[in-house]
């Protein structure tokens, strides 16, 4: 567990999955705990391959108060074990369309919609849905995606980007909430040649560094940079990009 402040710690398990302890509540991002393997897709669409296991199992997590699910339609953001985990979580926040598909305790949030969650010691954490674009344009090929901003009295501001490839979206978040204390940025430069002619589906390393600058983020926890074969950049490229931008002091360890 990477202790960032008295009220915030983050543990990254691989892929997009991280456990965020925030103001006494525990949030899990995009749960993916399957073993490595292939995920074929119908109708000739490109499949995905997981190349490395998570550093933990769902049984190791302890209490999870809410899942912050950027989207449910791709196995590198919600796999089989992740879906099973959702059955035991009291709340899953995601897109409205995703909540309709998932049912159960899933709640869909429109862009900038908020939910207040009671903190154990009193007060609330406010979760705000942030826009996200999964690819070079708002296109139904990749489906709906959502990011999140966590705020609360006396608490740091935390931005969880989800699978977003747009710096314009990052600017919108910065305009409303910047500077943010900590950004959990999905990166890894994922590409699939048949999709958008191989264009970026999520931020690459250089764009993640620029997003950090736009947000004024004091700390960055990178996720979504390993464990899948369509991620074309990893920790090494990320560190190089942040060093080139003079932001290498913002990066925290990326995996437990």
Helix axes of 235-244 and 205-215: crossing angle, nearest 10 degrees: 50
Q: Please state, as a whole number, how many other Cβ atoms lie within 10 Å of the Cβ of residue 235.
A: 17
Which pTM value belongs to this model?
0.94
User: Along the 256 residues of the chain, how does pLDDT read in single tens digits?
Assistant: 789 999 999 999 999 999 999 999 999 999 999 999 999 877 666 689 999 999 999 999 999 999 999 999 889 999 999 999 999 999 999 999 999 999 999 999 999 999 999 999 899 999 999 999 987 765 555 578 999 999 999 999 999 999 999 999 999 999 999 999 999 999 999 887 766 666 788 999 999 999 999 999 999 999 999 998 999 999 999 999 999 999 999 999 755 4
Helix (H, G, I), strand (E, B) or coil at 178: coil
- Compute the Cα dihedral for 45, 204, 211, 117 and give only its sign: positive
Best CA proximity match to 210, nearest among 174, 254, 177, 236:
174
**Residue 23 near residue 123, CB atoms below 8 Å:** yes
Residue 144 CA, distance from chain mean position: 14
β pairing state of 25-29 and 17-22: antiparallel
Per-residue pLDDT tens over the stretch 73-130:
889 999 999 999 999 999 999 999 999 999 999 999 999 999 999 999 899 999 999 9
User: Which residue ranges form the domains of the chain, and what is each CATH number?
Assistant: 2-250 (3.60.15.10)
């Amino acid at each position: 567990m990477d202790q960032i402040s008295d009220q915030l710690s983050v543990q990254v398990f691989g892929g997009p999955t991280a456990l965020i302890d925030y103001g006494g509540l525990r949030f899990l991002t995009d749960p993916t705990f399957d073993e490595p393997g292939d995920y074929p897709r119908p109708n000739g669409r490109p499949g995905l391959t997981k190349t490395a296991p998570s550093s933990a199992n769902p049984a190791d997590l302890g209490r999870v108060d809410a899942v912050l699910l950027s989207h449910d339609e791709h196995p590198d953001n919600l796999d089989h074990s992740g879906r099973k985990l959702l059955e035991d979580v009291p709340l899953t926040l995601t897109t409205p369309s995703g909540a309709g598909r998932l049912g159960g305790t899933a709640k869909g949030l429109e862009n900038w919609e908020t939910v207040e969650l009671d903190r154990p010691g009193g007060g609330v954490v406010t979760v705000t849905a942030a826009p996200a674009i999964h690819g070079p344009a708002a296109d139904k090929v990749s489906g709906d995606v959502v990011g999140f901003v966590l705020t609360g009295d006396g608490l740091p501001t935390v931005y969880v980007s989800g699978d977003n490839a747009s710096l314009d979206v990052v600017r919108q978040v910065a305009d409303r909430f910047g500077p943010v204390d900590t950004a959990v940025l999905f990166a890894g430069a994922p590409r699939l040649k048949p999709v958008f002619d191989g264009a970026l589906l999520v931020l690459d390393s250089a764009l993640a560094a620029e997003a950090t600058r736009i947000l004024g983020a004091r700390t960055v926890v990178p996720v979504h940079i390993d464990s899948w074969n369509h991620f074309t950049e990893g920790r090494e490229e990320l560190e190089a990009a942040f060093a080139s931008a003079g932001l290498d002091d913002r990066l925290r360890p990326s995996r437990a």
